[in-house]
C-alpha cells in the first residue's frame, strides 16, 4: 500500500480485529453489555474475512455521503451508526446445522432429519454506536487527508 494514511487506517482496523478476542457465536451474545457485543462483532468480521480495506472504504463512503447530502444530518452519532450498519451486514449471523437419523416406523429405512439454527444479532442500539466509534477512530486520519480530494472529485463529476 503506497499511501501512508490508508495503510495506517488498515493497520488500525487490523488492531481492532486483533483486540476483539475469540470468535463468539451470535446466539451466545444475549445478556452481554453493548461494548462487549461490539467487541465480539469485530471478531465476527475478522473470522468472516471482512478485509480491513472494506471497513475503511465503508467509513469513507459514509463520510462522503454525509458531506454531499444537501440536507445532511450533522450528528456525529448518525455517521457512526450508518458506518456500522454497512459493515454489520457483511458478517452478521451465526448458523448451525445438525443431522440425525430417525426411524419413523419399525423395520423401515431410517430418515435423515435436519435441524438448523440461524441467529442474527440486531443491527441497532448502542452496539452500532460503539462499532461506528471504532471505525471513526481507525479512519480519522485517512478522512482528514483524503476527503477534500474525494469531495472535489465528486463535485467535478456533478458539473
Q: Which domain holds residue 20?
A: 4-158
Structural domains in the chain (count) = 1
Q: What is the CA radius of gyration of the chain?
A: 21
Name the CA dihedral angle for 43, 44, 45, 50, rounded to a multiple of 10 degrees: 120
Grid coordinates belonging to 152:
472535489
The low-confidence residues of the chain, meaning pLDDT below 70, are 1, 92, 94, 119-124, 158-159
How far is residue 113's CA from residue 103's CA, in Å, rounded to a whole number? 10
Q: What does the mean pLDDT of the chain come to? A: 86
Burial 8-41 (b: 16+ CB within 10 A, else e): bbbebbeebeeebeeebebeebeeeeeeebbbbb
pTM over 0.85: no
Work out the percent of the chain whose per-residue pLDDT is above 90: 45
pLDDT given for residue 158 in this prediction: 62
pLDDT given for residue 159 in this prediction: 58
pLDDT given for residue 96 in this prediction: 74
- For residue 96, what are the contacts with CB-CB under 8 A and spacing of at least 6? 25, 116, 117
The tally of CA atoms less than 13 A away on the side-chain side of residue 76 is: 7
pLDDT given for residue 109 in this prediction: 82
Amino acid at each position: 500500500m503506497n499511501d501512508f494514511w490508508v495503510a495506517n487506517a488498515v493497520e488500525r482496523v487490523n488492531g481492532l480485529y486483533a483486540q476483539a478476542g475469540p470468535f463468539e457465536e451470535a446466539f451466545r451474545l444475549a445478556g452481554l453489555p453493548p461494548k462487549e457485543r461490539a467487541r465480539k462483532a469485530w471478531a465476527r468480521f475478522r473470522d468472516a474475512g471482512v478485509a480491513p480495506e472494506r471497513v475503511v472504504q465503508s467509513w469513507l463512503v459514509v463520510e462522503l455521503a454525509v458531506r454531499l447530502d444537501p440536507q445532511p444530518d450533522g450528528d456525529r452519532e448518525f455517521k457512526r451508526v450508518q458506518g456500522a450498519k454497512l459493515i454489520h451486514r457483511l458478517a452478521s449471523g451465526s448458523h448451525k446445522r445438525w443431522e440425525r437419523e430417525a426411524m419413523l416406523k419399525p423395520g423401515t429405512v431410517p430418515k435423515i432429519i435436519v435441524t438448523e439454527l440461524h441467529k442474527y444479532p440486531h443491527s441497532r442500539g448502542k452496539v452500532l454506536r460503539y462499532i461506528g466509534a471504532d471505525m471513526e477512530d481507525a479512519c480519522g486520519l485517512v478522512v482528514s487527508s483524503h476527503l477534500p480530494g474525494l469531495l472535489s472529485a465528486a463535485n467535478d463529476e456533478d458539473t
